Amino acid sequence: MRLTCLAFTALTALSGPVLAEESRKGEARTWQAGDHHVHSRFSGKRAEDGAYVLGKDGIYTLPENARRAQQYGLSWVVLIDHGGEGLSKLRYEQAYPELLEAREAVPDLIQFFGMELDTPGGDHSSLIMAIDPKEAETLRHLEQSYNAHEAKDPARDDPARMIAALKEMDGLNPKPLVIANHPSRGAKTPDGYGRHTPQSLRQWMDTAPDVAVGMEGAPGHQGTSLKANATPETLRKRGYYEQSPTFGGFDAMTAKVGGVWDALLGEGRHFIVTATSDSHRNVADGGEDFWPGQYAKTYVKARKDPADILAGLRAGRVFIATGDLVSELDMDVGGAHIGETAKFKKRQTVTVSVRLRDPAGPNANGDRPDLRRVDLIMGEITGKAAERNETTKVVKTFTPADWHRDGEIVTLKWAFTATTDAYLRLRGTSTDEAEPLPDPLGENPWPDLWVYSSPVYIKVR
């Protein structure tokens, strides 16, 4: 009876988003801001007697998270919590009904169900379910079958189990998404890797390219320096990145030009980076986190309906920004836009047109940050697997003297000659750093703002 009632409740709660999708099919796509990594009170902790206690790690209810996400300008959010021994049952019986309450309480916010997967053979990942009447049952099955810590069995933490999970996910209709979280946080050295490696990410994409679509470029826990009563002994680095630092708040795999992200793009892969809060406890409540959307946003070019947002993530219609430095960003390269492929003849002139919005109003910190520079980054697509893409470089730097401004709208152009298959991506900053520097202990994140776009791909024939 519980399964029947839960499914009926889910279907009732979904009627709004589903009908909205049907009514919006003719609408133009716009930039929808979101966050796929938001924890709640269901990210608890084990007591000495083995009982799982809610509110001991994440502290907020799902409706509260939803209200805050909407307050800080988000259109969509993924409400996820940690896995653990036997927690698939708790997620199904307690967290999911509260999610339905949150959807009813904040109906204008698209709220996806998911979990932070204890990835077999890897670090955490966001497992994002498509909104569907069977979303809770499907997630429960996937968690029971594949989450590494669902049971006390070391054999579950096997990379082969993740490949099996991806194969099953790839066969679902609708398909979920998997995004690797804080990829370099577990690295032991600045140039090392944690449990997410270029090789593992490549295997995921080879197995299920429509499921394994990206990694966190800007991890959460960015408010560590703002924690009340922190001392030099208790202060933590941004993102909890202890051995491999963040760079302008971004993971090294993303921030280093020619690094892992560029290597994967150089293989011709459509692979996105995202920015999240990893919200557990806000800095205003004695924590080290921002609310969803308060500091970091992942923008997806989509209609405001669940299926098109997931489709936009898959297609790479994505840019990410911190501190509301930029709220719109797009490139036009021969009629192709972010996430798309433009075709040119060899030696044909390629014109890159960029349009972005530099908001005039204050951000969540009350600042009005200035965009000081935009970099156009290009790398060749060779198809070869590597840990670096040595062809990637900044090919053009724009400052305010190089662009045209009309109110909040900034436009700029650049042209070059097509010679080989390549990709173009954008990066901008409020700082005067030529390249993002390693973030020192105690750095205030608000003056250190960056924006990164997914690429436009160029095919030369």
Kindly state the average pLDDT of the residues 139-152. Answer: 97
135 has pLDDT over 80:
yes
Is it the case that residue 76 has pLDDT exceeding 60? yes
Separation CA 57–CA 82 (nearest Å): 10
Domain ranges of the chain: 2-326, 329-460
Q: 266: helix, coil or strand?
A: helix
Is the per-residue pLDDT at 236 higher than 90?
Answer: yes
Alpha-carbon gap, residue 186 to 192, rounded angstroms: 9
Q: For residue 4, what pLDDT is reported?
A: 40
pLDDT interval class at 24 (50, 70, 90)? low
CA 142 to chain centre: 21
pLDDT in the model for residue 448? 98
The size of the chain, in residues, is 461
Superfamily of domain 329-460, CATH level 4: Immunoglobulins (2.60.40.10)
- Report if pTM > 0.75: yes
Task: Calculate mean pLDDT across residues 155-161.
Answer: 98
Residue 23 has pLDDT above 90, yes or no: no
**Distance between CA atoms of 77 and 113, rounded to whole angstroms?**
9
Going by DSSP bridges, is the β-strand pair 30-38/296-302 parallel, antiparallel, or unpaired? antiparallel
Q: From CA 260, how far away is CA 202, in angstroms rounded?
A: 11
Rounded to an integer, the average pLDDT of 251-256 is: 98
> So what's the pLDDT on residue 26?
77
Two structure tokens written together for 233 = 């002994």
* Contact call for residues 438 and 242 (beta carbons, < 8 A): no
**pLDDT tens digits, one per residue of 276-293:** 999 999 999 999 999 999
| Per-residue pLDDT at 79 | 94
Q: What does the pLDDT read at residue 27? A: 87
Please name the amino acid found at residue 392.
T
Model confidence over 363-414: pLDDT tens digits? 999 999 999 999 999 999 999 999 999 999 999 999 999 999 999 999 999 9
* Mean pLDDT, the chain, whole residue set: 95
Residue 405 pairs in a beta bridge with 410
CB of 182 closer than 8 Å to CB of 124? yes
Residue 25 has pLDDT above 80, yes or no: no
CATH class (in words) of the domain with range 2-326:
alpha beta
Note the pLDDT of residue 22: 52
Contact 354, 451 (CB under 8 A): no
- DSSP-assigned states of every residue in 83-146: --TTHHHHIIIIIHHHHHHHHHHSTTSEEEEEEEEE-TTSSEEEEEPPS-TTHHHHHHHHHHHH
Determine the Cα–Cα distance for residues 428 and 435; give it in Å rounded to an integer: 10
Give the tens place of pLDDT for each residue, 80-102.
999 999 999 999 999 999 999 99
Q: Is the pLDDT of residue 2 over 90?
A: no
Given a contact cutoff of 8 angstroms between Cβ atoms, the answer to whether 280 and 39 are in contact is yes
Tell the residue number behind the tokens 């021969």, with chain if given. 334
Segment 308-335 shows an average pLDDT of 98
Alpha-carbon distance of 46 to 50, in angstroms, equals 6
* Cα distance between residue 461 and residue 459, in whole Å: 7
CA 3 to chain centroid:
32
Residue 16 pLDDT more than 60? no
